[in-house]
Amino acid sequence: MATTGSGEEAAEPSAPPDTPNTEASCVAGQQVGRQGSRRPALSPSRAADFKQCPLLYRFRAVDRLPETPTKAQLRGTLVHSVLERLFALPQSDRNPERAKDLLAPAWTELAEDRPEWTELFPEGDGKTEQVTAWLESAAELVDTYFGLEDPRRIDPEACELHVETELGSGVLLRGYIDRLDVAPTGEIRVVDYKTGTAPREIGEAKAMFQMKFYAVVLWRLRGTVPRQLKLMYLTDGQSLAYTPDEPELRRFERTLEAIWQAILKAGRTGDFRPSPSKLCGWCDHKARCPSFGGTPPEYPGWPEPDSGEESPLDRAD
Ligand code: SF4
């Protein structure tokens, strides 16, 4: 059953408040199941792309055309990085001021890693003010996060966890989990931070698809169905918690297998058709889309070795 609310805490699979733990606890991690490899895999973002529009999938996963992030997307990537760093601090240090102090250094590192992202703030009059205002808007998301939960009470097992598993059918699933909380009783909670500006009715189905994807991966890796899938919306301070069950995950696994078979079929022929919708407003590829009078580049063929990778921007939607 799904529940929504501001700051609500359904099932708390983490250290209770009176559990002393001053150690830094959250590390970026990796859990890879059978046949970990870099061969083509299905990620939640790319699966959602194909469901939305096969041609969008092709542009992103096959042609791998660059996209220009918006400032809002970039802010999401920054806030995800800050929350990861926050959980690497000792629990007692995880307060709003420390978290906001992490914003500027995290942005410096992102800008060094991806200098092209700094082009969103062109040189010239007002650049400093623009970056300052943008960092302040990121600080508001951090404040909203603290309104949803107290990170001093949480002892995650991992942040930015890379997970990968192969289903019995041979479909390889791959993705990154924002945060994994595991209770002393073994109950698993999957946490995802949402920082995007897309309307909730558009983003929610996609977000729940993503969370069920991670639930299937963890179930297959660990043999345990996660107790809770939790979405935290940092733009409006709402959260949504969902408890999956095994029959549902079995059905969802078949859905993922069907999506992958459809992708492989399209990959063999190059027949990735456009599927216009109101989501085209967020598509970076309208100019080359036949539905908008454009012409796609020549089909380059199915990519090897990997077509399932998610970018940091995917993880921050
Ligand atoms: S503009 Fe719309 S139909 Fe065209 S590729 Fe993008 S999402 Fe698909």
> What are the pLDDT digits (tens) for 258-311?
999 999 999 999 999 999 999 999 899 999 999 999 999 999 998 865 556 676
Tell me the per-residue pLDDT of 216-232, one tens digit each, with 9 for 90 and over.
999 999 999 999 999 99
Three-class SS state of 51: helix
Beta strand spans in 10-154 (E): 28-32
Residue 60 makes CB contacts below 8 A (sequence gap 6+) with: 46, 49, 67
Give, in words, the CATH class of 49-255+311-315. alpha beta
In this predicted structure, what is the pLDDT of residue 24? 52
Does residue 69 line the site of ligand 1, with CB under 6 A? no
Domain boundaries, the chain: 49-255+311-315
pTM score, whole prediction? 0.86
As given in the structure block, the two tokens for residue 260 are: 């992958």
> For every residue of 158-199, which 3-state class applies, written as one string?
EEEEEEEEECCCCCEEEEEEEEEEECCCCCEEEEEEECCCCC
Mutate to test the pocket of ligand 1, among 52, 56, 65 (most ligand atoms within 8 A of CB): 56
Cis peptide before 305 (omega within 30 of 0): yes
Query: Between these two residues, 248 and 29, which has the higher pLDDT value?
Result: 248
Which residues on adjacent β-strands are paired with residue 4?
Answer: 240
Q: Which ligand 1 atom sits closest to the C-alpha of 275?
A: 3
Q: What is the mean pLDDT of the chain?
A: 87
Query: What is the position in ligand 1's atom list of the atom closest to the CA of 279?
Result: 7
* DSSP-assigned states of every residue in 274-300: ----GGGGG-TTGGG-GGGT--PPPP-
Cβ of 48 closer than 6 Å to ligand 1, yes or no, is no
- Tell which atom from ligand 1 comes closest to the C-alpha of 59: 5
Strands (E), the chain: 3-5, 28-32, 158-166, 172-182, 188-194, 228-233, 238-242
Find out whether the beta carbon of 276 lies less than 6 Å from any atom of ligand 1: yes
Tell which wins on pLDDT, 106 or 25: 106
